[in-house]
Structure 1
């Protein structure tokens, strides 16, 4: 249980592209005069997503455990809120470690679930990791009909090698953020520009359907990302086009929702 504390003056938020951005905006709106809110993001894209929010400071740059510890010491924060992506388990582990070591109060901002109803399940397969998914996908492509082997990867650029190491890149169409870092990772993995869809989401059902049709997709690969990510829209689009959705299960994510956290400030 977190006790409301009127003496919380220095707040650090890690992550600012989805829930982190909303949290920063909501906290800034009710910020006390002497209260300081710092949002730490990994990339310029994260910084761009925070533009227009007054009353916050933004730190840009990836932090390993040592740099993170130094950053938290220098900031002298009263509390740290971890609003990183639910699949960024390594970063969350580092934040928890540093907070425990330094005696800083830690809260995990939990992304709310987005339930898939029976009408949106369609042809769905679940996996515990990108590697397990890519192994099965390799089998399906090898045994599939000619012309039904194209894959739309919407899992981002970080896990790309799990797929490119096993699957001919000619079968892969990758949707990533429109950042140099993401596009470079795709190119380094052997993808050509016409197989890279660099767009900012979340995407509507109609936009997903358009991509499925344009690239003649038979398999849509996604993470079980939760509310606000466009996850359900992917499932609905795949069902509408009668293709298979392959999903990496979301890690267990204990924490508090946005509204639960805001109660304490």
Structure 2
């Protein structure tokens, strides 16, 4: 079986490692190319977008994929919705790996918001705001002109910070809780803004915020897609096995 693996998450990396040792499948990983030096996967990898609906459909058909597994970031809603629609149209099995959301504990101070524009309603003027939401979201925080913004990203910036009241901070994960606590203290952070991406490796910033008593603005995830979805790599492997047995 030939599988197209839409990557961009830790689950994608782990699944690629398992499947690279399985001689019953051939895997092609696809990365959007957002990060300049992405983690090398142990399977054939293509980097860059597909060029739209028709081009992606033609690529899946032309390469004769027997299944598509979507292990993109939980907030990559556009590519997930499009891929699911394509797979439904051309009758190719589609699986979405969507890891569990983070859940607050009593010691957390979280405020859930639906979009970036709502953040202003919960942040006092003059606050130092740590944006752990990625560079691509900066345009949606334009209304935070009365705050100091710090946006962390993996790659060095290729252009100046878009607002006079902020700056980029370059850092490559993973970050320990201790590192995050020290960083937030050094920057005098008042508020942390994050997407509810889930996952243990990136939870350390939330643990640090809890220890420091920092308020967190948590962006809710896009709605769950209908159809087949799992939360873990082991469940995805079981789905592949069942698909293979069903087509035998």
TM range (shorter): 0.7 to 0.9
In the TM superposition, 1:6-21 aligns within 5 A as 9-21=1-13
1:152 pairs with one of 122, 127, 130: 130
1:151 & 1:107 partners in 2: Cα distance?
36
* Matched residue SS, 2:20: helix
* Matched residue SS, 1:70: helix
* Matched residue SS, 1:230: helix
Q: Deviations over 1:101-146 (max 9, x none)?
A: 2211101112134433223x1x22111122222x324xx333xxx6
2:86 & 2:111 partners in 1: Cα distance?
36
2:14 & 2:163 partners in 1: Cα distance?
36
| 1:253 matched residue in structure 2 | 224
Q: Deviations over 1:18-57 (max 9, x none)?
A: 211111111112232xx31000001173873134x2xx21
2:221 & 2:175 partners in 1: Cα distance?
20
Q: In the comparison of the two structures, how many residue pairs are matched?
A: 235
Q: Deviations over 1:187-245 (max 9, x none)?
A: 262368x82111122322112112211211101101111123513x2222112222211
Say if 1:217 and 1:44 are closer, same or farther in 2 by CA, change over 3 A: closer
- Offset of 1:95 from its aligned partner? 0.6
Could you tell me the TM-score, scaled by structure 2's length? Answer: 0.85
1:90 & 1:44 partners in 2: Cα distance?
15
**More helix, by proportion:** 1
2:237 is equivalent to residue 262 of structure 1: yes
Unpaired runs of at least 5, structure 2: 242-248
| 1:59 matched residue in structure 2 | 46
| 1:178 matched residue in structure 2 | 155
2:7 & 2:161 partners in 1: Cα distance?
26
- Offset of 1:168 from its aligned partner? 2.4
Unpaired runs of at least 5, structure 1: 1-8
8 Å Cα contact 2:2/2:65 also seen in 1: yes
Moved more, 57-66 or 151-160: 57-66
Runs of 4+ residues deviating >4 angstroms: none
| 1:3 matched residue in structure 2 | none
8 Å Cα contact 2:5/2:30 also seen in 1: yes
In the TM superposition, 1:1-265 aligns within 5 A as 9-32=1-24, 35-43=25-33, 45=35, 48-51=38-41, 53=42, 56-63=43-50, 64-119=52-107, 121=108, 123-133=109-119, 135-137=120-122, 140-142=123-125, 149-163=127-141, 165-168=142-145, 171-178=148-155, 183-184=157-158, 187=160, 189-190=162-163, 195-231=167-203, 233-253=204-224, 255-256=229-230, 257-263=232-238, 264-265=240-241
Could you tell me the TM-score, scaled by structure 1's length? Answer: 0.80
Say if 1:61 and 1:152 are closer, same or farther in 2 by CA, change over 3 A: same
- Offset of 1:166 from its aligned partner? 0.8
- Alignment RMSD (CA, Å): 2.3
